[in-house]
Amino acid sequence: MAIELNIADQFAHLHLNRPKALNALSFEILGQLDAALGKIEDAIEAGQVRGVFVTGEGEKSFCAGADITELMGRTLTQEHEGARFGQSVFDRLAALRVPSVAVIHGYAFGGGLELALACTFRVATAGAKMGLPELKLGLIPGYGGTQRLPRVIGQDRALDMILSARTVDATEAERIGLVTRVVDSKDPAAVGREFLKPYLKHGLIALDMAKQAILRGMQTTLAEGLRIERDCSTLAFRSGDATEGMTAFLEKRPPVFKDQ
Ligand code: CO8
């Protein structure tokens, strides 16, 4: 399998393992990713996963994008369906109830960067290089890049990156907010675990409600966003975890959250 999934110690580790093609995403691999996300959703509901990290095999590349060998000679319907499917898989990743992080080690181009943009966070190792080079191929990003990139780095910078199709290095990526952090490490899995550690101690309900309030709120007006916040906040208050968290504070002890 080109998509490997390992669930252990509250982490789900998604690993792209197709190094001969720099971990390029064929449609079959997208299907495997979709199936793996279904397993992660189940594991989250079973209380086995609090954070998800995504890595790519090999020193050279996180993911070099959609598999270009598959993209030619297709009908209009097949092209539309391909984009719809890719978007739906990345939407599924974005909608997970727990935080996710893409550890970008080497190249993240095209669909590879779009995969990373669907994660809650992105971290780069020092030599990482990122871009949406689709215009060089006469294409435009089709797995969410035109929509998620401006939401992450702002409209002007996204226009610059997409219309120029240029490559951004790790230092610039951190400066423009494309990645949260740059780390000097040759072990992407260790980076993913370390990055997610601060989130593990929280209850699932509060994690989910906070994430939803921010991400859904960023897609709408301030007034509507505040309404989403009120609803999510009220739902969090109704949880046993909220009672436990506030009781533990008053009793001066660490809380024990049960995701209820
Ligand atoms: N697809 C298929 N194979 C690839 C890809 C790719 N995206 N990227 C690299 N490979 C293959 C190469 O063909 C090569 O194979 P082989 O050894 O058999 O010749 C192998 O990986 C190694 O690649 P290179 O020899 O090119 O390695 P370099 O270190 O010289 O260069 C680069 C690395 C710069 C990453 C270069 O490989 C490159 O430019 N790759 C393409 C990057 C790119 O353009 N990505 C965007 C693809 S389009 C896309 O993602 C659109 C998403 C939305 C699609 C919606 C429609 C359904």
DSSP 100-114: EEEEE-SEEETHHHH
Using the atom order of ligand 1, give the atom closest to the CA of residue 143: 53
Residue ranges of the chain that CATH labels 3.90.226.10: 3-199
Does residue 158's CB lie within 6 angstroms of at least one atom of ligand 1?
no
Enzyme catalytic residues: 114, 134
Residue ranges of the chain that CATH labels 1.10.12: 204-250
- pTM (global) more than 0.75: yes
Q: Across all residues in the chain, what is the average pLDDT?
A: 97
Q: Which two tokens stand for residue 209?
A: 């409600």
Residues 105-159 pLDDT 10s: 999 999 999 999 999 999 999 999 999 999 999 999 999 999 999 999 999 999 9
pLDDT at position 72, please? 92
Does residue 116's CB lie within 6 angstroms of at least one atom of ligand 1?
no
Rounded distance between C-alpha atoms, residue 206 and residue 196, angstroms: 16
Contact 102/119 with Cβ under 8 angstroms?
yes
Q: Determine which residue's CA is closest to atom 13 belonging to ligand 1.
A: 21
pLDDT at position 230, please? 98
The domain made up of 204-250 is a member of CATH 1.10.3210 = no
Residues 214-252 pLDDT 10s: 999 999 999 999 999 999 999 999 999 999 999 999 999
Rounded distance between C-alpha atoms, residue 12 and residue 105, angstroms: 18
Contact 218/229 with Cβ under 8 angstroms?
no
In CATH terms, the superfamily for domain 3-199 is 2-enoyl-CoA Hydratase; Chain A, domain 1 (3.90.226.10)
Contact 40/49 with Cβ under 8 angstroms?
yes
Does residue 68's CB lie within 6 angstroms of at least one atom of ligand 1?
yes
Beta-bridge mates of residue 124: 104, 182
